[in-house]
Amino acid sequence: MIEVTGSLKRRLAVWLLVTVTGLGALLMIEARVSSHRAAERAYDSQLEAAALTIAEAVQWQQGEPLIEVPAAALQILATRHQERVFYAVLDADGAPVSTNLPFTLEPGWRERAADAPLALTARLDGEAWRLYGREVDSAGWVSQEPVQVWVGHTRAGRMALADELFERTLTRFVAMVLLAGVLMALALRVALGPMRRLRRVLRRRDADDMRPLDARVPEEMRELAQTLDHLFARQRQSREALLRFTADASHQLKTPLAGLQSVSELALTSEDPAEWRAALAAVHEGAGRTSRLAGQLLSLARLRHLGEAEAVAPLDLAAVLRETVLDWAEREAARDHDLGLAPLPAGPVWVRAEGWAIRELLGNLIDNALRYTPPGSVITLGLEVLEGREGRGEVALFVEDDGPGVPAKARERLLQPFERGGRQDTEGSGLGLSIVDSIARRLDGRLSLGARESHGLRVRLSLPLCDPEEAP
């Protein structure tokens, strides 16, 4: 079932938005701070220029500092923003020699300005002012005391410049974000191009076209394309297997049906009731064999088309084994064989499997052993509990006989349907091991065929043990 969980574009847009908002907020704070700093620096240098111009005009007369404030200094102070301006020339005691506004400068400021030029922001006369003070050494004939020059102006120009700088940064940022957004959208379109191409390729394919994909894909989509190819390959295989199976099954069913037809035809031409009887017996036997063959075919088909095994309840394998062997030992077919059980583990052996599957599997294996071994052969079934790696235990179920066995080369092929290990003399259909193999796959087990000592056959199925705590 396909569930649409949002759109890639929207998800990308949201991420872009979140990133831009977060980074943008930080950037803007930084821009705000640095534009203020830049504005302060720019205007502080004007304060410095004005202070120097005034300092240049300081002269000494009769031991008193004398200052004719240069008009240019005041214009520098006022700036093009027409600030209110302040200047003061202080003598060594801090008393004003000349000033235009009655601001009191804190003694602390004067002490600091004595060490190094000082710029500070202060609130005076109900308005924020930027002040700048520096000490000027001057040599007169009578006095060599230093004087301090203080200048200041209001901050409208600084605010305006800071706002202007900030606005410019903001504009650039917004433009960049918009551009990035548009480019992102375009890039997304281009990046999703291969996806659209692949979709077109898939849409154009015929229903029974199982060839590998022929498409150009980027690195990120290689895995998807490969998975699709694997899927096609598996479908192709299973389709071929199905066709082969159907062909084989038809062929198998045709032979006994043809036999029935010839026997019944022969009987119809005869007048002898004894022959009729013999023919009827032959027909009965043939119908029974055909019916068993059809039953096995059905069972195999059912196994193959059953879906994945659902979570099944744990099952005591030892109990099922014991029960099945007892059941078979009493049958007519096992009269000439020595069917027995190897010693079983003491407690129950828990595996996840359906009871019918295990019984079907065991039935097929025992039936095979009875059919393909001469009378008097010993057939033994048993369980071996193995400690697997990482605490995952395994149990091996085995069926062995001391019959003629199967050459190693033919063993693998035995698992194919209609394969009888080169023995066409018996009544078997060649489906038994095929069914066993299907069940083993279904139970997530491993099936292996081997020899028992020098001769005979040993069929072994390993199943994972399930956690004893989960057992009922």
- Which residues sit at the interface with other proteins, rule CB under 8 A? 66-75, 77-78, 82, 84-85, 97-98, 100-101, 125-127
Q: What is the H or E stretch that residue 26 is in?
A: helix 8-56
Short-list 408, 327, 397, CA closest to 367:
327
Residue 71: CB minimum distance to other proteins, A: 4
Residue 117: CB minimum distance to other proteins, A: 22
Nearest residue (CB) to other proteins, 95 versus 311: 95
Q: Where are the beta strands (DSSP E) in 254-304?
A: none
Residue 76: CB minimum distance to other proteins, A: 9
Q: Is the alpha carbon torsion for 212, 215, 217, 221 positive or negative?
A: negative
3-class DSSP assignment, residue 174: helix
Residue 78: CB minimum distance to other proteins, A: 3
Q: What are phi and psi of 375, to 5 degrees?
A: -55, 145
What is the C-alpha separation between 388 and 378, in angstroms, rounded? 30
Say if strands 394-401 and 378-386 run parallel, antiparallel, or are unpaired: antiparallel
**432: buried, middle or exposed (CB in 10 Å: 19+, 13-18, 0-12)?**
buried
Nearest residue (CB) to other proteins, 126 versus 376: 126
Nearest residue (CB) to other proteins, 51 versus 449: 51
Nearest residue (CB) to other proteins, 84 versus 460: 84
Degrees (nearest 5) of the Cα angle 121, 127, 131? 30
Residue 143: CB minimum distance to other proteins, A: 17
Nearest residue (CB) to other proteins, 127 versus 223: 127
Residue 152: CB minimum distance to other proteins, A: 11
Say if strands 350-352 and 338-341 run parallel, antiparallel, or are unpaired: unpaired
What is the C-alpha separation between 180 and 187, in angstroms, rounded? 10
Residue 163: CB minimum distance to other proteins, A: 18
Nearest residue (CB) to other proteins, 124 versus 253: 124
Residue 193: CB minimum distance to other proteins, A: 57
Say if strands 378-386 and 338-341 run parallel, antiparallel, or are unpaired: parallel
Residue keyed to tokens 């043939």: 286
Tokens describing residue 128: 């924020």
Tokens describing residue 334: 């096992």
CB 77 within 8 A of CB 155: no
Nearest residue (CB) to other proteins, 97 versus 415: 97
**138: buried, middle or exposed (CB in 10 Å: 19+, 13-18, 0-12)?**
middle
Q: Is the alpha carbon torsion for 22, 25, 27, 29 positive or negative?
A: negative
Q: 315 vs 18, 398, 461, CA distance in Å?
A: 55, 17, 16
Residue 24: CB minimum distance to other proteins, A: 34
Nearest residue (CB) to other proteins, 70 versus 194: 70
Short-list 381, 348, 360, 352, CA closest to 445:
352
Residue 35: CB minimum distance to other proteins, A: 24
**Residues forming a β-bridge with 66:** 59
Residue 85: CB minimum distance to other proteins, A: 6
Give the Cβ contact number of residue 429 at 10 Å.
23
Residue 127: CB minimum distance to other proteins, A: 7
Q: For helices 355-372 and 432-442, what crossing angle results, to 10°?
A: 150
Contacting residues for 299 by C-beta, under 8 A, at least 6 apart: 360, 435
